[in-house]
Structure 1
Amino acid sequence: MRSAVGLLLLLGIHLVYARTHSLQYFYTAVSGDINFPALTAVGLVDDGQFMYFDSNITKAIPKTEWIKQYEGSDYWEEETNILIRKHQVLKNNIMVAQTRFNQSTGVHTYQQMYGCEWDDETEATNGFLQEGYDGEDFLSLDLKNFRWISPVPQGFITTERWNKDKALLEHDKHYLNTVCIESLKKYLQYGKSSLEKTVSPRVSLLQKDSSSSVTCHATGFYPSGVTITWMKNGEEHHEDVELGELLPNEDGTFQKTSTLTVTPDEWKNNKFSCLVEHKGINKEESEIRTNYGNSLPIGIIVGVVVAVVLLVGMAGIGYKIYQKKKKDFKPVSGSDDGSNSSAPA
């Protein structure tokens, strides 16, 4: 896998679609009596999935045409072997964490989320690695001070051990600063034609009935960067607004929602609208579509959203949790997928 990086020396190539790009991996291990793969793994470039693995199929598979075109059987065999080993590591991590938290039964999850970012204009780079247990932060790599930290006492034993392992820290540093960035640039070049595309969002205002909250639903857009703003009488309105998570659609585009809670009288006596900005293009919607009359039933929209959430779950439940936590940390490890083989023993 690393040898493939040498085939494309992309350090001097400036991609024409200027923005910050990312390579991200999410591993989720599950224990207990649950009808879900014991390990799922997802790889994403610019928030779009390009690879998938789970312990039921025991095989890493491509999810885009561009990765199929440029990487052959040797690449996927090596990815598979890495992830099979990762399964054993994370399985052990769950058992260790259960002991640390004094747990003996129940369903538990252990996640590893890591990757890097590159700004193709400024050449600035960034990396992150965080490990979580049962949906809460457990371990992370503090890049500013280059040391492992934990927000909970149960992780202190591990941080002490890993911070003494200078070889491991240097290994992580090399992956973050070199291997991950080179891999990201390689993948961007592979998928240049599809990753350059811009698809504008479709915007709808959805409401169950006249007394319900109003949801602004933007969907079908690419790339993933979008801003949703509620307007009241021509001014930005931020009160009683709940912004939803970014979710992937099955066709590689994205969707996002923002929900506004106001009384029927307040809606009637003011001019509310939803403004969606994507790639410098604004779309504004003020007409509500309800589940009565001739408008699109909100049940259909809700069903689509639920289906997408389930799809995300089967593709690796770490994706949605990571999006929720992404802004909270900027904390890696290595082959092309950078997986850390250490266990928090």
Structure 2
Amino acid sequence: MMKGIITLILLCHAATAVKYFLELDDLLWSGSPNVPEYAVTGTVEGVLVFYIDIMDKTAKVTHDWIRELIKEHTEQWEALQEECLDYRHVLKHDTDSFNQDSGQTEGAPVIQKIHGCEWDNETNEVNGYVRYGNNGEDFILFDLDTTTWITLDAQAVAIKKEWDADEARNVDWKHYLTTECVMWLKIFLTYGKSYLTRKDLPSVSLLQRTPSSPVTCHATGFYPESAMIFWRRDGEEIHEGVDLGNILPNHDGSFQMSVDLEVPSISPEDWRRYDCVFQLSGVQNDIVTELKKEAIKTNFRKKDTLSVVSIAVIATMAVVIVIIAAALGSIAIKKKNDRDILERSSTPPSDTISL
């Protein structure tokens, strides 16, 4: 059963480039006829690597190094696809348990399971996890050390008792996470090493919506995910008036992130004291961008100037139209006296995902 849970996702986490992750994310949902009931996604460093659902039944891959792996491990890959699809039966069983024990009686639940293993290629240390979610909320987590389950939701207590009692299943989970999962992780590292260890520097820009808005230091196109971005004043990192955003994936497998600086309180002569710093793990030189008005990209000036002119013109025209209409109306009334040419008409006017 555990073989059916493999989805190949590598995440080179963190400042320690010797730790690698393989992770699976599969989803079960029967709430819409236009969405596959069951799907599995695989990512590498946050990049979509393959996707498979119950309708197509054939994994779609996005990188040449995955295709090379498939050529040399065709039988294993085909077996993997079948096992991934077959696992939906286990998730359906879990769905029944979740419904029964969590008290949910209406609507189609969304069941998500994420599992993964970690391997340190220097210490050979192995770790792993299994986490279930119910309707977007963390529900229950497998503890590899004790081979028992930890409740993440009060409604998961009954399920914990049931799953803790299934010792054979828990032993299977531990074996999979520490043996089979790590085996696949090492295979993927072999084929994807050049991709996973590359260092791509980003383009960094200063952005601002309006003169009173924060200045955003935006870095995009960097790889891997382990990076930092921050504002400095006189060479020292600052936190006051700074808002750091999350690291987000780009469609091409790279990443982006940004950090805002509140500038209205900064005097113009002090702008030269500030700069934005981007640091990428494994790269010695930082990317430093000075805070300069001429370096800021914005469409405010052009857009707002046009807007102000337009508003002024429209306002002037409106006043003129009102005056003309009033004058014409007065003349018409005087000329036509009490005729019904000013009667009101009663006829009304006619009348763009993911995995």
The two structures have a TM-score, normalised by structure 1, of: 0.72
Secondary structure of 2:65's counterpart equals: helix
CA contact (8 A) 1:32 1:105 kept: no
Q: Give the CA deviation at 1:219.
A: 1.5
The one of the two structures with greater contact order (alpha-carbon pairs below 8 A, sep at least 6) is 1
Secondary structure of 1:80's counterpart equals: helix
Alignment partner, residue 321 of structure 2: none
Alignment partner, residue 190 of structure 1: 191
Q: Give the CA deviation at 1:149.
A: 0.8
Alignment partner, residue 178 of structure 2: 177
Q: 1:292 to 1:56 in 2, by over 3 A?
A: farther
The C-alpha deviation readout for 1:164-197, integer Å capped at 9, x for no partner, is: 2222222111112111122111111112232232
1:273 to 272, 275, 287: 275
Secondary structure of 2:300's counterpart equals: coil
Alignment partner, residue 43 of structure 2: 44
2:303 matches 1:282? no
CA distance in 2, matches of 1:56, 1:214: 46
Q: Give the CA deviation at 1:64.
A: 1.6
Q: 1:184 to 1:111 in 2, by over 3 A?
A: same
Aligned residue runs from structure 1 range 127-276, under 5 A: 127-260=128-261, 262-266=262-266, 268=268, 269-270=270-271, 271-276=273-278
Alignment partner, residue 19 of structure 1: 18
Alignment partner, residue 28 of structure 1: 27
Q: Give the CA deviation at 1:108.
A: 4.0
CA distance in 2, matches of 1:28, 1:205: 39
CA distance in 2, matches of 1:199, 1:131: 34
Q: Give the CA deviation at 1:250.
A: 2.5
Alignment partner, residue 97 of structure 1: 98
CA contact (8 A) 1:110 1:131 kept: yes
Q: 1:153 to 1:196 in 2, by over 3 A?
A: closer
CA distance in 2, matches of 1:273, 1:34: 52
Q: 1:136 to 1:69 in 2, by over 3 A?
A: same
Aligned residue runs from structure 1 range 71-86, under 5 A: 71-72=70-71, 73-86=74-87
- State the AA in 1 paired with 2:266: E
CA distance in 2, matches of 1:130, 1:32: 22
Tell me which moved more, 148-157 or 68-77. 68-77
Q: Give the CA deviation at 1:256.
A: 2.3
Tell me which moved more, 137-146 or 180-189. 137-146
CA contact (8 A) 2:114 2:131 kept: yes
CA distance in 1, matches of 2:182, 2:159: 27
Q: Give the CA deviation at 1:248.
A: 2.5
CA contact (8 A) 1:245 1:257 kept: yes
Secondary structure of 2:29's counterpart equals: strand
Structure 1 runs not aligned, ≥5 long: 4-16, 296-309, 317-345
Q: 1:34 to 1:208 in 2, by over 3 A?
A: farther
- State the AA in 2 paired with 1:248: P
Alignment partner, residue 10 of structure 1: none
- State the AA in 2 paired with 1:275: V
CA distance in 2, matches of 1:96, 1:216: 47
CA contact (8 A) 2:101 2:158 kept: no
Secondary structure of 1:199's counterpart equals: coil
CA distance in 2, matches of 1:30, 1:240: 43
Q: 1:272 to 1:134 in 2, by over 3 A?
A: farther
CA contact (8 A) 2:147 2:171 kept: no
Identity %: 35
CA contact (8 A) 2:26 2:112 kept: yes
CA distance in 1, matches of 2:165, 2:215: 53
The two structures have a TM-score, normalised by structure 2, of: 0.70
CA contact (8 A) 1:23 1:46 kept: no
Corresponding pairs, count:
284
CA contact (8 A) 1:60 1:77 kept: no
Q: Give the CA deviation at 1:58.
A: 2.8
Secondary structure of 1:265's counterpart equals: coil
Q: Give the CA deviation at 1:282.
A: 1.0
CA distance in 2, matches of 1:49, 1:34: 24
Structure 2 runs not aligned, ≥5 long: 4-15, 304-351
Which structure has the greater CA radius of gyration? 2
- State the AA in 1 paired with 2:66: I
Q: Give the CA deviation at 1:115.
A: 0.9
- State the AA in 2 paired with 1:274: C
The C-alpha deviation readout for 1:31-65, integer Å capped at 9, x for no partner, is: 42485433332223444433211234232222221
